[in-house]
Chain A
Amino acid sequence: MGRTRKKLSLFDFLNMTGYILFSLLVLYPFWQTIVLSFSDANASSSLGVHLWPDRWITDAYEFVFSYGNVMKAYVNTIIRTVAGTILIVSFTVLAAYPLSKKDLPFRNFFTIFFLIAMFFSGGMIPDYLLIKNLGLLDNSLSLILPSAVNVFFIIIMRNYFMTIDKGIEESAIIDGANYFQILTKIIIPISKPVIATVALWAAVYHWNEWFHALVYIQSDSKTVLQIIVRDMLTAMDLTQNAQMGGGGMASSKLMLSNVRAATVIISIGPIVLIYPFVQKYFIKGIMIGSLKG
């Protein structure tokens, strides 16, 4: 607002201090994980603030990368994310474009067909039985097919398409273009921002998704990073109990905690690295998607 006062009031000072503390609090668990991942068992088995490792060692990372499953899971996660994102984006575009046509006969029927799926679902067990009956248990397709059609994304994209000027399309039709050509040559090029937003959402979804992988996938060779971390969480319960009983892993050079922290860091690495560059698209997404939906 048109305030010209330069000096900070006490309120401003406290407010900013508050936000700095808040930011540090938000980041502390992340930083602690980094420190833990570069420490060894001795350094990390004492209570403390652990803001800096006693000495930076990369043993945990070496262990993680030499441990076959993690690398395999990394590759699987990348494949899953790429394939899943392509599927989601294509199906979103393919469904959203026809639904954006106000003069499409029975458009309401089709819209409702999609919307119903947003509110009603079979639930965890019927979903599982379907995958089982389709013979997709322990098949990587079970990770990308069930989520390939996302109604929420379709609605967002449909709304965006509806704001596109009809004039360009009509002249293309007169020139003899079919709808598929219009979609690929006209609509998609001018809808890049919304497509980028949906693609990013889809990619983050697939990168983070763990529940389907937990329930549908059994083989270690098909597992994803999230499951590796999750297995280390449940294993932790056991070692913690063991330590209380006096034994545990504390005598070895690395603890499960160090290894887990390293796995967490490599798992979130890609997200954190692209985060500063792409966050504006996420914000854009929430703005287009919210409430007008």
Chain B
Amino acid sequence: MQTALQKAETTPERKTKATWVQMKKMKGLYFMMLIPMVMLFIFHYIPMYGILIAFKNFSPGLGIWDSPWNNFEHFKRLFSDFLFLRALKNTIVISLLKIVIVFPAPIIFAILLNEIKNEKFKKVTQSISYLPHFMSWVILSAMVIEVFSPQRGIINFFITLFGGDPINFMADKTSFVPILILTDMWKEIGWGAIIYLASIASIDPQLYEAAEMDGAGRFHKMIHVTLPSIMPMVIIMFILRLGSILNAGFDQILNLYNPLVYEVADIIDTYVYRSGLEQFQFDYATAVGLFKNVVGIVLILTANAIIRRKSEHGIW
């Protein structure tokens, strides 16, 4: 008797009906989501359709649909375009340098800051450290340009103090990339450290006590207790960072660079911006952007899959 009833409840028609009843009951919720979904559709999904122009000879007069297909011409051009290849190279070089130099900085910052026992000092230092994070690159660039200015900058002051000649750093191919690295660190070190400081705070104090009992000194504890305890977090952040290797810092570079340093500073995003929105090669620029996005998505999804497999939590 009971089994028959259960069986009846799980038949497809019953299930559809139950779903329908539930949907009617919750219609207010669907209604709530409606406007956000429409907005998302217009401003995110419709541009995805616009990607079609990467495969066409786009003419604004004809529109996206009626512009003629061009048999992947833009993509063939991509790999013989010296400027694109240069941008691709610069993107990877700048990104790798940032990963090698900027990525470890917040970890070291957090571990050493944790050694300071004065809470007030720690708090003030931390608050100062992430102030630049809340500024846009437009604002920060205005500051960076002054620091490195050949007329007023403090760096050139010290160079001349030791008998050197002022260098126009922002227009110098050898110094421009180091400036990108340094200023990126300035902006993000404190912010990046937050997550590591939180993981350090959650380390079981007994681990330190046990280490002390074994006669571990301070450095020993930093290397053998603190560092291994935050290692899972470090690995997650590292994989995520690798996943976004094609993002070399568009906001930063677009505000700091100039034609004199394009050779080392022009990245894919800035190249898309200039070829698309300054030279109005909409179709070609879209193709360049699409190339970057596709590779980028593959990298990010791979990164997330790796994290999921290694630990329980992915990024969503």
Chain A residues closer than 8 Å to B160, beta-carbon distance: 47
Q: Which of A110, A260, A279 contacts B142 (CB 8 A)?
A: A260
Q: Which of A62-70, A78-86, A145-153, A189-197 contacts B (4 or more CB under 8 A)?
A: A145-153
What's the Cα separation between A26 and B313 when bound, in Å?
34
Given A18-B112, A271-B134, do A286 and B121 touch, yes or no (CB 8 Å)? no
Q: How distant is A117 from chain B, measured CB to nearest CB, in Å?
A: 4
Chain A residues closer than 8 Å to B142, beta-carbon distance: 33, 229, 232-233, 260-261, 264
What's the Cα separation between A22 and B193 when bound, in Å?
14
Chain B residues closer than 8 Å to A115, beta-carbon distance: 316
Given A19-B121, A47-B153, A117-B40, do A286 and B194 touch, yes or no (CB 8 Å)? yes
A91 touches B39 (CB 8 A): yes
What's the Cα separation between A145 and B38 when bound, in Å?
12
Is A28 an interface residue, CB under 8 A from the partner?
A: yes
Is B209 an interface residue, CB under 8 A from the partner?
A: yes
Given A49-B154, A120-B297, A145-B43, do A26 and B32 touch, yes or no (CB 8 Å)? no
A130 touches B32 (CB 8 A): no
Q: How distant is B211 from chain A, measured CB to nearest CB, in Å?
A: 10
Q: With a 10 A CB-CB cut-off, give which of A12, A28, A47, A130 has the most chain B CB atoms.
A: A47
What's the Cα separation between A2 and B212 when bound, in Å?
11
What's the Cα separation between A49 and B19 when bound, in Å?
71
Bits for B102-119, please: 1 = Cβ < 8 Å to A, else 0: 000000000011011110
Q: How distant is A94 from chain B, measured CB to nearest CB, in Å?
A: 5
Chain B residues closer than 8 Å to A267, beta-carbon distance: 139
Given A122-B51, A130-B47, A276-B127, do A26 and B157 touch, yes or no (CB 8 Å)? no
B125 touches A19 (CB 8 A): yes
What's the Cα separation between A27 and B186 when bound, in Å?
10
Q: Which of A125, A179, A237, A260 contacts B32 (CB 8 A)?
A: A179
Given A94-B35, A101-B29, do A155 and B50 touch, yes or no (CB 8 Å)? no
A124 touches B273 (CB 8 A): yes
Is B263 an interface residue, CB under 8 A from the partner?
A: no
Is B306 an interface residue, CB under 8 A from the partner?
A: no
A125 touches B277 (CB 8 A): yes
Chain B residues closer than 8 Å to A180, beta-carbon distance: 28, 32
Bits for B135-174, please: 1 = Cβ < 8 Å to A, else 0: 1101111111111011111101100100000101000000
Given A123-B289, A233-B141, do A26 and B131 touch, yes or no (CB 8 Å)? yes
Q: How distant is B230 from chain A, measured CB to nearest CB, in Å?
A: 13
Chain A residues closer than 8 Å to B218, beta-carbon distance: 9, 11
Q: How distant is A210 from chain B, measured CB to nearest CB, in Å?
A: 5
Is B44 an interface residue, CB under 8 A from the partner?
A: yes
Chain B residues closer than 8 Å to A154, beta-carbon distance: 36
A3's nearest neighbour on chain B, judged by CB, is: B117
What's the Cα separation between A19 and B116 when bound, in Å?
10
Chain B residues closer than 8 Å to A204, beta-carbon distance: 134
Chain B residues closer than 8 Å to A233, beta-carbon distance: 138, 141-142, 145, 255
Q: Which of B113, B152, B255 contacts A230 (CB 8 A)?
A: B255
B36 touches A149 (CB 8 A): yes
What's the Cα separation between A19 and B144 when bound, in Å?
21
What's the Cα separation between A264 and B212 when bound, in Å?
50
Given A125-B50, A291-B313, do A268 and B135 touch, yes or no (CB 8 Å)? yes
Q: How distant is A188 from chain B, measured CB to nearest CB, in Å?
A: 12
Is B9 an interface residue, CB under 8 A from the partner?
A: no
The number of residues on chain B lying at the interface, defined by a beta carbon within 8 Å of a beta carbon of chain A, is 97
Q: How distant is B203 from chain A, measured CB to nearest CB, in Å?
A: 10
B113's nearest neighbour on chain A, judged by CB, is: A19
B161's nearest neighbour on chain A, judged by CB, is: A47
What's the Cα separation between A110 and B30 when bound, in Å?
10
What's the Cα separation between A119 and B315 when bound, in Å?
12
Chain A residues closer than 8 Å to B132, beta-carbon distance: 26
Q: How distant is B207 from chain A, measured CB to nearest CB, in Å?
A: 10
Is B53 an interface residue, CB under 8 A from the partner?
A: yes
Q: Which of B49, B51, B147, B151 contacts A29 (CB 8 A)?
A: B147
A97 touches B293 (CB 8 A): no
Contact residues, B1-50 vs A (CB, 8 A): 19, 22-23, 26, 28-30, 32-33, 35-37, 39-40, 42-50
B205 touches A1 (CB 8 A): yes
Is B302 an interface residue, CB under 8 A from the partner?
A: no
What's the Cα separation between A113 and B139 when bound, in Å?
35
A28 touches B154 (CB 8 A): yes
A1 touches B28 (CB 8 A): no
Q: Which of B47, B112, B209, B212 contacts A15 (CB 8 A)?
A: B112
Q: Which of A33, A178, A240 contacts B143 (CB 8 A)?
A: A33
Other 14 A-B pairs with CB < 8 A, given A264-B143, A267-B139: A36-B146, A44-B152, A47-B153, A50-B152, A97-B29, A98-B30, A105-B23, A126-B51, A149-B36, A179-B26, A208-B138, A226-B138, A232-B142, A233-B138
Is A211 an interface residue, CB under 8 A from the partner?
A: yes
A95 touches B136 (CB 8 A): no
Given A15-B116, A125-B50, A290-B195, do A113 and B134 touch, yes or no (CB 8 Å)? no
